[in-house]
């Protein structure tokens, strides 16, 4: 640490941002999960953690909010790669089967197999997170597809209640998708089943199924600030800071931050699994994260998921990840 100069070139020392901290000293633990078995469209996010680590070496660390580089951060080896290898090709074949008009029941055993692997992944993530939580470490999950943070959310909810602030183009409220119980499209459904998850606030949604809209309307603890709502506020020339204030004012004092990069304008995440036109601009998300930093909201953990495995997508996510360090410090 004594030799670390944040103004120097980023050294590829294996850690995120080239930071000089080891596992024991680290307060914030970044846990990459190399899993994308249920990805229904584009693939690559299972491996993007390494692209994000590479991109993180390019960052300059000045931030007007604080010297986040002083926070000890450590990136772990990725979890879930073996499970993903067992599941990915089989799952792709099953999605193909459904897309060609096949039924889940035709190949039920294979679907059961993928669902068992998903459960094993969740248990693995929960076990690792549980140990870190006992040591009072803060955790950021680096996806992988958006099914991967469930183990962390469940581990955190064991002895505290909190709300979820969820940035996404999708509601992820399906009770299961394409025959997969723990699909990337179902993470908020599963999180909502946890007694200690008191609310979900989703921002940026713009690709929602009629079934999900029904769920949202019937659940007073799910709040949605859709992309259309945000866009209409802009078109009516309401200050964006007022929109952010409105959203933050309705959040519980303790939140878990779940960030699917497809909430952003696709120019910022062109290689994400399911890009959708529209979305938050770079400056809007920065303003959001700044406001969150300056608020009195306590952030218990976070995930950053669905980053495409491409240097540009990784650049964007590395910068968001650096902001998360500030939020969890």
Read off φ and ψ for residue 250, nearest 5 degrees.
-95, 5
Of positions 126, 145, 168, 227, contacts Mn ion by CB under 5 A: 168
**260 is an interface residue for Mn ion by CB under 5 A:** yes
Q: In what order do the strands lie in the sheet with 73-75?
A: 73-75, 28-32, 138-142, 298-305, 254-260, 162-167, 197-203, 222-225
Q: Which stretch binds Mn ion (CB under 5 A): 101-109, 139-147, 198-206, 277-285?
A: 139-147
178 binds Mn ion (CB under 5 A): no
How far is 34 from 50, CA to CA, in rounded Å? 10
Q: How far apart are CA 154 and CA 19, in angstroms?
A: 29
Of the two residues 97 and 170, which places its CB atom closer to Mn ion in the complex?
170
- In the shown chain, the binding pattern of residues 202 to 241 toward Mn ion, with x for contact by CB under 5 A and - for none, equals ----------------------------------------
DSSP state of 238: -
- Closer residue to Mn ion (CB): 178 or 260: 260
The minimum distance between CB 116 and Mn ion, in angstroms, equals 23
Residue 145 sits in the site that holds Mn ion (CB under 5 A):
no
**Where do runs of H (alpha helix) occur along the chain?**
48-56, 81-99, 108-134, 150-156, 187-192, 210-218, 227-235, 240-249, 282-294, 311-328
Min CB(216)–Mn ion separation in Å:
15
CB of 126 or CB of 172, closer to Mn ion: 172
Residue 258 CB, shortest distance to Mn ion, in Å, is 8
Q: CA-to-CA distance for 155 and 69, rounded, in angstroms? A: 27
Helix (H) or strand (E) holding 253: none
Are the beta carbons of 222 and 199 closer than 8 angstroms? yes
| Residue range at the interface with Mn ion (CB under 5 A); choices 5-13, 140-148, 193-201, 236-244 | 140-148
Which part of the chain contacts Mn ion (CB under 5 A), choosing from 57-65, 127-135, 259-267, 296-304?
Answer: 259-267
Q: How far is the CB of 87 from Mn ion (least distance, A)?
A: 18
Judged by beta carbon, residue 74 or residue 288, the one nearer Mn ion is 288
166 lines the binding site for Mn ion (CB under 5 A): no
d(CA 283, CA 289): 10
What is the rounded distance in angstroms from the CA atom of residue 280 to the CA atom of residue 198?
A: 26
Pick from 146, 189, 190, 319 the residue near Mn ion by CB under 5 A.
146
User: CA-to-CA distance for 306 and 55, rounded, in angstroms?
Assistant: 16
Q: How far apart are the C-alpha atoms of 155 and 153, rounded to whole Å?
A: 6
Does residue number 172 form part of the binding site for Mn ion (CB under 5 A)?
A: yes
Segment contacting Mn ion by CB under 5 A, of 102-110, 163-171, 200-208, 218-226: 163-171
Residues lying near Mn ion in the complex (CB under 5 A) are found at: 146, 168, 170, 172, 260
């Amino acid at each position: 640490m004594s030799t670390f100069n944040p103004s120097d070139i980023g050294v590829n020392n294996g850690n995120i941002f080239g930071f000089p901290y080891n596992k024991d000293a680290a307060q914030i633990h970044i846990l990459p999960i190399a899993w994308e078995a249920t990805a229904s469209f584009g693939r690559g996010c299972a491996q993007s953690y390494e692209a994000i680590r590479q991109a993180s070496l390019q960052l300059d660390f000045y931030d007007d909010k604080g010297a986040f580089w002083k926070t000890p951060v450590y990136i772990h080896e990725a979890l879930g790669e073996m499970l993903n290898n067992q599941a990915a090709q089989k799952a792709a074949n099953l999605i193909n089967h459904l897309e060609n008009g096949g039924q889940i029941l035709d190949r039920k055993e294979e679907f059961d197999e993928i669902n068992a692997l998903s459960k094993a992944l969740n248990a693995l993530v929960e076990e690792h997170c549980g140990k870190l939580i006992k040591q009072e470490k803060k955790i950021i999950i680096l996806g992988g597809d958006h099914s991967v943070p469930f183990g962390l959310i469940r581990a955190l909810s064991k002895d505290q209640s909190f709300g979820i602030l969820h940035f996404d183009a999708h509601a992820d409220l399906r009770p299961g998708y394409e025959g997969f119980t723990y699909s990337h499209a179902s993470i908020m459904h599963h999180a909502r089943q946890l007694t200690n998850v008191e609310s979900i606030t989703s921002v940026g949604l713009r690709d929602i199924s009629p079934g999900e809209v029904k769920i949202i309307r019937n659940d007073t603890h799910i709040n949605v600030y859709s992309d259309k709502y945000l866009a209409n506020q802009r078109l009516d020339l309401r200050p964006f800071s007022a929109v952010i204030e409105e959203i933050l004012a309705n959040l519980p004092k303790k939140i878990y931050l779940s960030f699917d990069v497809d909430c952003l304008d696709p120019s910022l995440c062109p290689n994400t699994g399911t890009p959708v036109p529209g979305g938050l601009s770079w400056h809007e998300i920065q303003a959001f994260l700044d406001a969150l930093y300056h608020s009195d909201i306590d952030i218990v953990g976070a995930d950053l998921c669905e980053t495409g495995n491409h240097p540009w997508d990784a650049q964007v996510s590395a910068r968001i990840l650096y902001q998360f360090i500030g939020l969890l410090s």
